[in-house]
Structure 1
Amino acid sequence: MKTLNLGILAHVDAGKTSLTERLLHSAGVIDEPGSVDAGNTRTDTLALERQRGITIRSAVVSFAVAGTTVNLIDTPGHPDFIAEVERVLGVLDGAILVVSAVEGVQAQTRLLARTLHRLGIPTLFFVNKVDRAGADPDRVLRQIADRLTPEVVALGRVDATGTPAARWIPHPPGDPGHRARLVDLLSAHDDALLAAYVADERAATPDRLWEALVAQTARARVHPVLAGSAVTGAGVDALIDAVTALLPATAGDDHAPLSGTVFKVERGPAGEKVAYARIFAGTLRVRDRIRFGGGREARITALAVFDGGDATPGDAAGAGRIVRLHGLADVRVGDVLGVPPERPAGRRHFAPPTLETVVEPVRPADRPALHAALAQLAEQDPLINLRQDDRRREIAVSLYGEVQKEVIEATLAGDYGVPVTFRETTTVCVERVVGVGAAVEWIGRDPNPFLGTVGLRVEPGPVGGGVEFRLGIELGSMPLAFLKAVEETVRETLGQGLHGWAVIDCVVTLTHGGYWARQSHAHGVFDKSMSSTAGDFRNLTPLVLMTALSRAGTRVHEPVHRFRLDLPGDVVGAVLPVLAGLGAVPRGSTLRGTSYLIEGEVPAGRVHALEQRLPGLTRGEGVLEAEFDHYRPVRGPAPSRPRWDHDPLHRKEYLLAVARRVTGPR
């Protein structure tokens, strides 16, 4: 049986979880579809998801239809949980992007559509809620073509729109209008079809057009659109048929070396780690000892394969399957199982969190429990970027928005019994190198107290290039363990620059290296005081690197979001001063009937304030879309963040902390 790993994505409240329930019901997996309002859906299993009526964690269910096992992955719709969506994208064969027939294309819809297009994931659009008052599928279809992609074609029409009797009517194969639209759309990507049609219009038969539609949908060149209602079931059977007919089932070699990716980690009833993984190639069996995460090894103690609605215990899983694994105690989200897949699943598709807050326990005695609880949450969502300041006894987490903070608070109180409070949310800045700086400390020469020579040069790198470490010395001139210690410490140290922010987009070159070989006394006892160790290089590298960085200089940059603001024309005069007061810079405005579309940039830290003020300024009619765009230099005094480790910029205190000794001037 073929396997299709299918993601359902949407803006929050577009109805994707309800659609998941309806798909399971139509496929015969459940007797009655669950309700988000009633809190009895199959995929929203967390108590907090049921209470709030939103999806927080991705969930996997499955059903079989037309000889294909469909693994259905329900993802969060709220932008604060975009990290969950990111982890799923790399394991998908296809996607359904749900759009509300009432609200139409919304902010998250645009972001998801652009990402699916960039990754080349075959996608169907489903216009949901056609039975609701105010539904307008034709308007939404125009919005999809205008705002998301022009490469769309509706496979039918809706009758009795906006009533409980609304139903989906597929276009008949011989419909001349539908045939003309298919020819225009498909021939733009198929020269053979175009040539045949020009030579003889009768060559564009329904069968040939359908074959072209299947091929181009599988290559993500075109995107069929269907419509219906998850509540009434209208159009859902047609959607299931389209999924199995138009989206490509996975192909993989069961006999190839094992290759997979972990996209989700959770804790089991006994506190053990449970990993969810997509197998791209090979076969995974219980009791197999596998490599994962670039070097760690463990034995699979149990596995379950998604089949018939839920995970079913099994002995083996082949290529294309999604499995739930036990036994990988050190597993993390994004870990590769076996050899890396041809299609990397761990790369960044969305912007990192741009906000941060300090978490404090209500009861001081709960501080150890708080750290343990946050560490477990970080296993499930690595992008919360847990940061512990032992010097101030503070724990900070990164955020996408205020709703995510509320969810973390409720989770800590409800699941771990640790009530917490949060400090004011702050913006996470970065530092960029502005010049070239170099430094070197020699073994056996003051003020270097360590048994190693390290020389580093720091210079700006390309935007988006991250931190690049280069060797300016011969590879064999130092033991590999010492080179690795220098590189790892460079990357770790750059997590806090001159102003306390992470340093990005730079090139660090190791220009000098030296060590004392292992030496022993006459009786053969190893003498650490005469021999270099990796610890010498780990302790010395921060001193050299921060000296070089100080000579190069850095500039603090703040995250900036690109925004689109739809608002009534008569309130533009009241909104523009507010935008200016929040540091927003309009880049253009367009009059559309009685409304205005304003586009521009706004500091990430001001987006929440704009969201709060917008309803009052626009009588609730303003619609804001905002997403991360770039970092820009901070205007005015550079903000700083206190360091949370031993500060290599202050030599005396650093040496007292790491080596219990002081050498040379401060």
Structure 2
Amino acid sequence: MNLGILAHVDAGKTSLTERLLHRAGVVDELGSVDDGSTLTDSLALERRRGITIKSAVVSFALDDVTVNLIDTPGHPDFIAEVERVLSVLDGAVLVVSAVEGVQAQTRVLMRTLRRLAVPTLVFVNKVDRRGADTARVRAEIGRKLTPGAIALGTVRSPGTRGARAVPYAPDDARFRDRLAESLAERDDALLAAYVTDDRAALTYARLRAALAEQTRRAETHPVLFGSAITGTGLDALADAVKELLPRATGSPEGPLAGTVFKVERGAAGEKVAYARLYSGTLRVRDRVPFGGRAEPGKVTAVSVFEQGTAVRREAAVAGQIARLQGLGDVRIGDVLGDVRDVPERHVPRHHFAPPTLETVVEPRRPGDRGALHTALTRLAEQDPLIGLRQDPLRQEVSVKLYGEVQKEVIEATLAEEFGVGVDFRETTVLCVERVVGTGAHVEVIDTDPNPFLATVGLRVEPAPPGSGVAFRLGVELGSMPYAFFAAIEETVRETLLQGLRGWEVSDCLVSLTRCGYWPRQSHAHAVFDKSMSSTTGDFRLLTPLVLMEALRAAGTRVHEPVHRFRLTVPADVFGTLLPALGRLGAEPHAPVAHGSAYVLDGLVPAARVHELGQLLPGLTRGEGELESAFERYEPVRGAPPARPRTDHSPLDRKEYVQRVTRRTQPG
């Protein structure tokens, strides 16, 4: 079973992982997050900061089940690391703090787990901590996370060191009635028995079987209580994992199918890939097709996870997580074998919002520019959403970010692992451009002002938000060599990374409406004559000019990222908060009274979230609480911002043609 542990930061996720490993005998002594002695937080930076930054795989035996447990980061700045893990899970445990309750990141994670139909248990941790309120948190789970929440136990003396998690007994009539009522909502046979009060059909064994079935279908989410520090409730959690969550399926005899969810560098600098196998057997020295590349890669070493660590083996089989060496060009998200053999739910996709911040990274020593580029490229291998953006014109490199903590981690990693000291410029918000209308443009071969031996016609039109960029052929595929079509599509996607105002253009449909070329020409003795023959270069150089003219005709509008926020503030300071929200461009909804406090939801531009967090303590005597998470992109009010381009801009036709033709001329 491949099991993920997920949570909002500081809910006790890594401590829970450590307790499960100790219970299974994998570690002799419990590690401590505060002391930096946990097994899964192996990076020096993780131990020093006391947070999980990279996902880690450990294993333990649960009777006859080998559990590969994946500990994931809880801080929202590292949500990309969680995203890569989700597609390889058989089940998950979502950890909620009994003190803080359901938090912003908890809701984001649960929404995604439910959307992907990942079977999930909810574990309410820290029941022994002062301020623990298990009744409140249980109600929050049902209200904010899932209507299918079913508590399988209760807690005696919550909020004290002697707090004890107590599972409900099979002969507890009130529990059985609640269980039957909840399960009957999704089971017609149980509903009929419940309505007619057919006790013979509502045995505890029948209810427990229905609970397991609905949990595995991700329709019901059992809730358990306990403490990773004291160990109470851990036996019940382990039993629930074994009984209620599904195990890995797939035949070792089938065709090879797997996905890569993590890439790191070994001691000698070699790439090491972590892959979940869904079908088949992967052996040392096998030549493996991966990532759609023309040439397969040769696996030189295979490790699988047993009793805590990765152990060298000659082969890995379906269901296991394999640690592979030898695939030098492997990237996160690559499929091993044929993607058609990977179950639909496990095909890697983007589940969370992309990074919405960007910053320029500068080496402190000018001579480190080359080393910085190499180091950032390696970091991008491990985290593709870093999204390096090269600006050769200004000799700058930018990285995409989720937040300021991620910036601190990148700085420390570059210094400690690569010996490169860096500074960051001010973090800016990443906007996007969306197409407003429909626009088209055509450039014909051997016709002014087209200087290239190619004909390209493109039409651009808007597509639904979140759909990405689609490219469609409006001409016959056999009308010219396939390499020319491929060159046009690749260039379209590359060009759309910088729109009319320099931002990435998203959510549009680009159609190729016209094409043409000159066949290969040669003189006597078969000497190739470039001056009379079209090449892929002609199509790559012409396409940006055509696409930008089509975009001009269609028009684009700049959109900025907007966060949904939730503020909890004392009632007596509420009046001073509203003017501040107005100055930040926030759109608050109607407040809700909650005891002596107000809870206020609303939307605020992502660019102002950090400022809101800085203002809040002063406005609320330090008692205000802020949660925020990306919601969507909204049109920018006022003058739209522009971003400097990093290429020879096809928006300036004369300058563009002069530069690219000079670059391609011999000598």
TM-score past 0.5 threshold:
yes
Match of 1:23 among 20, 25, 35: 20
**Conserved 8 A contact 2:89-2:118:** yes
CA distance in 2, matches of 1:625, 1:38: 28
Residue 590 of structure 2: SS of its match in structure 1? strand
User: Residue in 2 aligned with 1:337?
Assistant: 336
User: Residue in 2 aligned with 1:126?
Assistant: 123
Match of 1:89 among 56, 80, 86: 86
User: Residue in 1 aligned with 2:32?
Assistant: 35
The alpha-carbon deviation at position 172 of structure 1 amounts to 1.0
Residue 478 of structure 2: SS of its match in structure 1? helix
Identity of paired residues, percent? 68
CA distance in 2, matches of 1:500, 1:656: 21
Does structure 1 residue 404 correspond to structure 2 residue 398? no
Listed as ranges, the matches of 1:487-502 within 5 Å are: 487-502=489-504
User: Residue in 2 aligned with 1:302?
Assistant: 301
Residue 635 of structure 1: SS of its match in structure 2? coil
User: Residue in 2 aligned with 1:628?
Assistant: 630
User: Residue in 2 aligned with 1:503?
Assistant: 505
Does structure 1 residue 426 correspond to structure 2 residue 428? yes
Residue 329 of structure 2: SS of its match in structure 1? coil
CA distance in 2, matches of 1:662, 1:132: 68
The alpha-carbon deviation at position 240 of structure 1 amounts to 0.8
The alpha-carbon deviation at position 120 of structure 1 amounts to 0.7
Amino acid of the residue matched to residue 117 of structure 1?
A: R
User: Residue in 1 aligned with 2:183?
Assistant: 186
User: Residue in 1 aligned with 2:136?
Assistant: 139
**Conserved 8 A contact 2:181-2:194:** no
The alpha-carbon deviation at position 553 of structure 1 amounts to 1.4
CA-to-partner distance for each residue in 1:158-195, whole Å, 9 max, x for gaps? 22322222222211101011111101110111110121
Residue 656 of structure 1: SS of its match in structure 2? helix
Match of 2:194 among 193, 197, 214: 197
Amino acid of the residue matched to residue 519 of structure 1?
A: Q
CA distance in 1, matches of 2:460, 2:194: 61
**Conserved 8 A contact 2:193-2:202:** yes
The alpha-carbon deviation at position 440 of structure 1 amounts to 1.3
CA distance in 2, matches of 1:146, 1:447: 63
Listed as ranges, the matches of 1:35-114 within 5 Å are: 35-114=32-111
User: Residue in 1 aligned with 2:149?
Assistant: 152
Does structure 1 residue 170 correspond to structure 2 residue 172? no
User: Residue in 2 aligned with 1:328?
Assistant: 327
Listed as ranges, the matches of 1:480-629 within 5 Å are: 480-629=482-631
Moved over 4 A (4+): none
The alpha-carbon deviation at position 619 of structure 1 amounts to 2.3
- Which one is further off, 484-493 or 454-463? 454-463
Residue 660 of structure 1: SS of its match in structure 2? helix
CA distance in 2, matches of 1:321, 1:375: 29
CA-to-partner distance for each residue in 1:466-488, whole Å, 9 max, x for gaps? 11111111111011110010001
Residue 412 of structure 1: SS of its match in structure 2? helix
**Conserved 8 A contact 1:520-1:526:** yes
Match of 2:265 among 264, 267, 275: 267
Amino acid of the residue matched to residue 368 of structure 2?
A: D
**Conserved 8 A contact 1:655-1:661:** no
CA distance in 1, matches of 2:641, 2:69: 45
CA distance in 1, matches of 2:597, 2:511: 54
The alpha-carbon deviation at position 623 of structure 1 amounts to 1.9
**Conserved 8 A contact 1:565-1:625:** yes
Match of 1:414 among 409, 413, 416: 416
The alpha-carbon deviation at position 117 of structure 1 amounts to 1.0
CA distance in 2, matches of 1:139, 1:631: 33
The alpha-carbon deviation at position 657 of structure 1 amounts to 2.3
The alpha-carbon distance between structure 1 residues 225 and 267, as it changes in their structure 2 partners (threshold 3 A), is same
**Conserved 8 A contact 2:484-2:539:** yes
The alpha-carbon deviation at position 661 of structure 1 amounts to 7.9
Residue 662 of structure 2: SS of its match in structure 1? coil
CA distance in 1, matches of 2:623, 2:216: 39
TM-score by length of 1: 0.97
The alpha-carbon distance between structure 1 residues 100 and 654, as it changes in their structure 2 partners (threshold 3 A), is same
CA-to-partner distance for each residue in 1:326-367, whole Å, 9 max, x for gaps? 011111111111111122432111100111111111111111
CA-to-partner distance for each residue in 1:243-277, whole Å, 9 max, x for gaps? 01110001112122111111111111011111111
- Which one is further off, 94-103 or 651-660? 651-660
CA distance in 1, matches of 2:574, 2:537: 61
**Conserved 8 A contact 1:145-1:151:** yes
Residue 523 of structure 1: SS of its match in structure 2? helix
- Structure 1 gap segments, 5+ residues each: none
TM-score by length of 2: 0.97
Amino acid of the residue matched to residue 320 of structure 1?
A: G
- Structure 2 gap segments, 5+ residues each: none
- Which one is further off, 70-79 or 521-530? 521-530
Aligned length: 660
Residue 295 of structure 1: SS of its match in structure 2? coil
The alpha-carbon deviation at position 662 of structure 1 amounts to 11
CA-to-partner distance for each residue in 1:277-309, whole Å, 9 max, x for gaps? 111111111111111112242111101001111
The alpha-carbon deviation at position 105 of structure 1 amounts to 1.1
CA distance in 2, matches of 1:173, 1:262: 42
Residue 38 of structure 1: SS of its match in structure 2? coil
Amino acid of the residue matched to residue 308 of structure 1?
A: Q
Does structure 1 residue 221 correspond to structure 2 residue 248? no
Amino acid of the residue matched to residue 188 of structure 1?
A: E
Match of 2:289 among 270, 288, 291: 291
The alpha-carbon deviation at position 624 of structure 1 amounts to 1.7
CA distance in 1, matches of 2:349, 2:599: 33
Amino acid of the residue matched to residue 415 of structure 2?
A: A
CA distance in 2, matches of 1:601, 1:288: 52
User: Residue in 1 aligned with 2:649?
Assistant: 647
Amino acid of the residue matched to residue 219 of structure 1?
A: R
CA distance in 2, matches of 1:418, 1:345: 36
**Conserved 8 A contact 2:105-2:629:** no
Amino acid of the residue matched to residue 321 of structure 2?
A: I
**Conserved 8 A contact 1:460-1:506:** yes
CA distance in 1, matches of 2:176, 2:142: 18
Amino acid of the residue matched to residue 409 of structure 1?
A: E
Residue 624 of structure 1: SS of its match in structure 2? strand
The alpha-carbon deviation at position 620 of structure 1 amounts to 2.5
The alpha-carbon deviation at position 524 of structure 1 amounts to 1.2
